[in-house]
Structure 1
Amino acid sequence: MYPLKFKPILKSTIWGGEKIIPFKHFDCQQAQVGESWEISDVPGDESVVANGADAGKNLTQLVNEYKAALVGENNYKRFNGKFPLLIKFIDAQQDLSIQVHPNDELAMKRHNSMGKTEMWYVIGNDGGKAHLRSGLSKQITPEEYARRIADNTICDVLADYAVQPGDVFFLPAGRIHSIGAGCFIAEIQQTSNITYRIYDFNRKDKNGNTRELHTELSKDAIDYTVSADYRTHYTPKQNEPVELVSCPYFTTTVYDLTEPMEMDYSELDSFVIYICMEGACSITDNEGNQVELQAGESVLFPATTESLSVKANGHVKFLETYV
């Protein structure tokens, strides 16, 4: 197998902005693109290969054809032949709705789906004006939660953060959250599209209708634990790996490179995804396959990849994630 690039799935939303199209170096007129689904195996939104011998096949077909060679032996068994991660870029011109996602147990019981644990890496903050919400700022009960939805005061008990490029937030299933206006982020999450909309600021869609809220479904899905700080703290470094998140669903590391680097994946039983936020690089695998990666692009390296040589074209910053 070889490094795989996919055709992104661009989604226009009522809260979407205009940053994704130029960030991805596209020449098209689609407006209010809120999300670019970079690598997806969500039913109905399966990513299609853009390069090489498998061009035109979707991710579901690839997993069915290559099995453990693509995703890794343990991952193939654990996720029942499904690709386990969904990768996105998100551009919020307005606040997204306040949401929560169910854990695996609840999602399987209600929706026959995986749950949704995710993480955010902030790429841009609209000149310092961006914010987001993550977690409860004070202890509340399920009854108080429902009351605060009804009387429009739920935001009063949520932790609200002004954000800078490079900020990271880990969002285990059950944590209330909302991407705020001005945020441009990379998101890594379990392959799930199960979202419970808690509050939507009484916003109306283009037809004048308010969107459905899932107050009762959310009540049992929320983790009511309060933490002092929901931000993921790390020390940025150049030319060495900096691990950001390690959880049962993904491990993510950031690389900020100005020098060549050799990556050894010979002991890793997983695919690896690179998500590029800045600059560009050339990547060559142990079989001699070469791929160019620039800001706005993502690439999937199959589990058969034993090593990669990364050469920055001056400077490159990317996220590495695997299961």
Structure 2
Amino acid sequence: MSAPAFGTLAVRTVEKPWGRDQLPAPFVAPYGKRIGEIWFEPVEEVFSLLVKYIFTSEKLSVQVHPDDAQAKALGEYDTGKEECWLVIDAEPGATLGIGFHGALGAEAMRAAALDGSIEDQLVWHPVQAGDFFYIPAGTVHAIGAGVSLIEIQQNSDITYRLYDYGRPRPLHLDKGMAVAKGEPYAAGLHRHLAPTGTVELARGPYFTAHRVEGLPDAALLAEYHGPMLVLPRRGEVELAGDVLRPGECAAAPSASAITFTPDGQSILVRAA
């Protein structure tokens, strides 16, 4: 049996045509490259989780993800995709499209996807750094241009594109209609976070996440008593002799194995 793969996660830098050649600190795009995503490669101990940074210069497709049961029923994977977003930087006028202005039936949604009016049916939420959105499976959504965010998600790339602004990529309308919720996005699923302070980000069926200011208290140490991910957002943390800084991510056996600093800020994530 191999030793647990705890420690700093390998980084995958992903070029995208909708990515950016100038990234928010501490990231730097290689010369001539448009970086859309920075992934932290999953390891066995927390394989159900994936964390990445996303940087956009154009709107991403209007899309939807199934839950686990729907993914299996549609003959895809055993795992669907539920996710959440923490906006870390936003250009003036940046928006996220999430949910609809009103109820929208499957046939009306299909017609809107085919003629492009689905873009106008979405509610486009103005965003700024500190905005947080939980995106349950089945929620129709699109990330707008000029947004940088952290995405915490189930480790799955299953995506059904409903509309892609005329780009030459296939759509997945049959499967998308089977899982898409034609309804407004619940107001309680998004909020704006103060720049500092410990706060619970997400507690869903697949993962739990907190932003921790300084040192976690006893309750959080007990909450994160097993395998987890840690992302420094300000300052440093130490794990098994390795120092992690903003822009990095590590898998840890528990929160108690991490040395936090009083003036730091980190994001902790564990599987549900």
- Provide, for residues 277-308 of structure 1, a one-character-per-residue CA deviation record: whole Å limited to 9, x for no partner: 3x321335xxxx233222211111125x6443
Quote the sequence identity (%): 28
Distance across 2 between alignment mates of 1:306 and 1:229: 34
Distance across 2 between alignment mates of 1:243 and 1:123: 17
2:60 equivalent to 1:96: yes
Distance across 2 between alignment mates of 1:167 and 1:131: 11
Q: Which residue of 1 aligns with 2:247?
A: 296
Residues 138 and 201 of structure 1: is their aligned pair in 2 closer, same or farther, counting only changes over 3 Å?
same
TM-score (norm 2): 0.88
Where does structure 2 lack aligned partners over 5 or more consecutive residues?
Answer: none
Which among 303, 308, 316 is matched to residue 258 of structure 2? 308
Q: Which residue of 1 aligns with 2:33?
A: 31
8 A Cα contact 2:41 2:50, kept in partner: yes
8 A Cα contact 1:261 1:311, kept in partner: no
8 A Cα contact 2:131 2:192, kept in partner: no
Q: Which residue of 1 aligns with 2:11?
A: 8
Residues 98 and 280 of structure 1: is their aligned pair in 2 closer, same or farther, counting only changes over 3 Å?
same
2:77 equivalent to 1:116: no
Where does structure 1 lack aligned partners over 5 or more consecutive residues?
Answer: 41-58, 64-69, 72-82, 204-209
Distance across 1 between alignment mates of 2:38 and 2:236: 21
- Return the index of the structure with the highest Cα Rg: 1
Alpha-carbon offset, residue 194 of structure 1: 0.5
Q: Displaced runs of 4+ in structure 1, greater than 6 A?
A: none
Alpha-carbon offset, residue 39 of structure 1: 3.1
2:145 equivalent to 1:187: no
Q: Which residue of 1 aligns with 2:162?
A: 198
2:197 equivalent to 1:243: no
8 A Cα contact 1:234 1:244, kept in partner: no
8 A Cα contact 1:88 1:188, kept in partner: yes
2:191 equivalent to 1:233: yes
TM-score (norm 1): 0.75
Residues 171 and 293 of structure 1: is their aligned pair in 2 closer, same or farther, counting only changes over 3 Å?
same
Which among 280, 284, 297 is matched to residue 235 of structure 2? 280
Residues 199 and 18 of structure 1: is their aligned pair in 2 closer, same or farther, counting only changes over 3 Å?
same
8 A Cα contact 1:119 1:171, kept in partner: yes
Distance across 2 between alignment mates of 1:297 and 1:221: 34
Alpha-carbon offset, residue 266 of structure 1: 5.1
2:136 equivalent to 1:172: yes
| C-alpha RMSD over aligned residues | 2.4
Distance across 2 between alignment mates of 1:242 and 1:25: 29
Residues 152 and 165 of structure 1: is their aligned pair in 2 closer, same or farther, counting only changes over 3 Å?
same
The one-letter code matched in structure 2 to 1:213 is L
Alpha-carbon offset, residue 261 of structure 1: 5.0
Alpha-carbon offset, residue 262 of structure 1: 5.8
- Provide, for residues 3-41 of structure 1, a one-character-per-residue CA deviation record: whole Å limited to 9, x for no partner: 511221111112111244863357x4361110111133x
The one-letter code matched in structure 2 to 1:115 is G
Residues 211 and 270 of structure 1: is their aligned pair in 2 closer, same or farther, counting only changes over 3 Å?
same
8 A Cα contact 2:7 2:252, kept in partner: yes
8 A Cα contact 1:282 1:290, kept in partner: no
